[in-house]
Amino acid sequence: MASVPVDSTAFAVFDMRELDEAGFDAGLASAGDALAVVFFWGRDCFNCEIAKKAMLAKPDEIRALGLKWFHSNVYEHRALSRRFMLHGVPMWFFFHRGRRLGRATGWHGLAQFEAAVKASRGKIDAAQKKL
């Protein structure tokens, strides 16, 4: 079976920087104080393509979340798949200053994704109140 070309439109539209094993932590550090999200996906992943199309259908709403975007093909960067114990894609992990805050598993619509973003921001707020 021939491999389906990867539609990288979403990566460009949301200015997603690609991360590999060697540059993962430095990439996250480049997000500074922003809430960073890593979109873990895989080539020939039907659900990943559906997720990208759904995101592209609502670009303004996605951008309004104020995220610093990254992406990684876990089939190409298997060490990241093991590091984060991924058992399926698509998956989004949220980070702040390199600290993992949460995740969204699968694309279940914008509301579910917004809830994951809100929960991650709540963790940032709670950590800052402890300071």
91-100 average pLDDT score? 97
**Structural domain includes residue 123:** yes
Whether residue 1 lies inside any domain: the answer is no
Angle at the Cα of 60 from the Cα atoms of 111 and 72, rounded to 5 degrees: 75
- Give me the domain span that covers residue 108: 9-130
What is the arithmetic mean of pLDDT over 82-101? Answer: 96
DSSP 8-state class, residue 85: T
In a domain, 101, yes or no: yes
Confidence (pLDDT) at 4: 63
**Residue 56 counted as domain residue:** yes
Q: Is the pLDDT of residue 78 over 80?
A: yes
pLDDT digits (tens, 9 = 90+) for 25-34: 999 999 999 9
**23 falls within a domain:** yes
pLDDT in tens, 107-120: 999 999 999 999 99
4 lies in some domain: no
CATH assignment of the domain containing 37: 3.40.30.10
Query: pLDDT digits over 8-54, tens only?
Result: 999 999 999 999 999 999 999 999 999 999 999 999 999 999 999 99
- Quick check: is 3 in a domain? no
User: Does residue 2 surpass a pLDDT of 70?
Assistant: no
DSSP type of residue 66: -
Q: How many of the other CB atoms lie within 10 Å of CB of 121?
A: 17
Give the model's pLDDT for residue 6. Answer: 81
Q: How many domains does the chain have?
A: 1
pTM assigned to the model: 0.93
Instruction: Quote the CA–CA distance of 107 and 5 in Å, as a whole number.
Output: 21
Instruction: Write out the two tokens for 34.
Output: 């922003």
37 domain residue, yes or no: yes
Under 8 Å between Cβ of 90 and 51: yes
In sequence order, the 6+-apart residues with CB closer than 8 A to the CB of 98 are 25, 28, 29
